[in-house]
Amino acid sequence: MKKQKENLIPLARDIVMDHIPQLVVVLGADDLILDVNEIAEAWTGIQKSEMIGKDPLQIFKAWPQFLNRMLVTEETREEVTLPGDPVRIVELMVIPIKNKNDGKLSSRAIVAHDVTERKQAENDLTDMNEILWGKIEEVESLRAQLQEQAIRDPLTGLFNRRFFSETLEKESAQAIRENSPLSFIILDIDFFKKINDTYGHKCGDFVLQTFANFLSDNVRTGDLLCRFGGEEFVILMPNASTESAYERAEVLRKQFEAMNIEFENQNIKSTFSAGVATFPNHSASSEAVLSLADQALYQSKANGRNRVTMYSAVSL
């Protein structure tokens, strides 16, 4: 019975070694190959009989990463790439085997598990995630562009009437909290129809763009500038009294009157009229104050244009 068991031990070893789905190489204390399994034969294309007793540097010279790791004396686990056809990515484990008596290294088992498909799946997933995040960023960018387009006037690039209406409530609420004035300046280019009729709509658009740029360059940082429609513009001035807003509008009026607008070799002169009103001084409703500034604007037009008028219940 004892002899039968002894005969079965190498048979069992051979069965286990050759049925392990990983590459297995066993090195002796002298770093020569003691044993390999069938997977090692299949991957290297070298017969087991040609590997036993050989220096691994000779057998595995085509796999430099594999060689560098398999010769370490400490237990290790890491991924390495095995060149060839096909190229394999393996999880390499080096297992030192030491004598029980003196603790010295007697051999090493090197096991390489093929993780190529898993790594490819992970890489594919990473690529898909990158594509997905790219699409998300693209959608977010498009959404931001659409949102920006929804609140911007396409001709002048200024905020539009919709954005002004959305912002007005917030600005008026802040003015109440801070007990500070919120002034409105409504500006209208004088005789704009005549510019269109004389020079054409292309020139009219250019004048509107020039006027918008002029206002953008000359309003305060905290002011809100909008194209309200047609040739009408609005400046919302937080923490500005009626007098301050009037003075600012007057400066703008004089500067714009002095400007030469050059369009296709023609010099065009233009002016604007304006009306000024302040919340909550003139009304407890910011929407009503906007209407009062508009009334002051029409007073400027009625008095000859190219002028600024402060709202006054007496004068109207």
Distance between CA atoms of residues 309 and 307, nearest Å: 7
Listed residue (90, 94, 35, 43) closest to 69, CA to CA: 94
Tokens of 258: 């002095």
Strands (E), 152-311: 182-189, 224-229, 232-238, 261-263, 266-268, 272-279, 308-310
How many CA atoms within 13 Å lie on the side-chain side of 5?
2
231 is catalytic: yes
263 pairs with which residues across the strands? 266
Q: How far is CA 100 from CA 97, 103, 105, in A?
A: 9, 6, 10
Task: Show Cβ contacts of residue 115 under 8 Å, excluding neighbours closer than 6 positions.
Answer: 79, 89, 90, 91
Q: Residue 210: phi, psi to the nearest 5?
A: -65, -45
- In the chain, the amino acid numbered 257 is E
Distance between CA atoms of residues 246 and 276, nearest Å: 6
Q: Residue 172: phi, psi to the nearest 5?
A: -70, -35
182 pairs with which residues across the strands? 238, 279
- The one catalytic residue among 41, 231, 232, 243: 231
Looking at the annotation, which residues are catalytic?
231
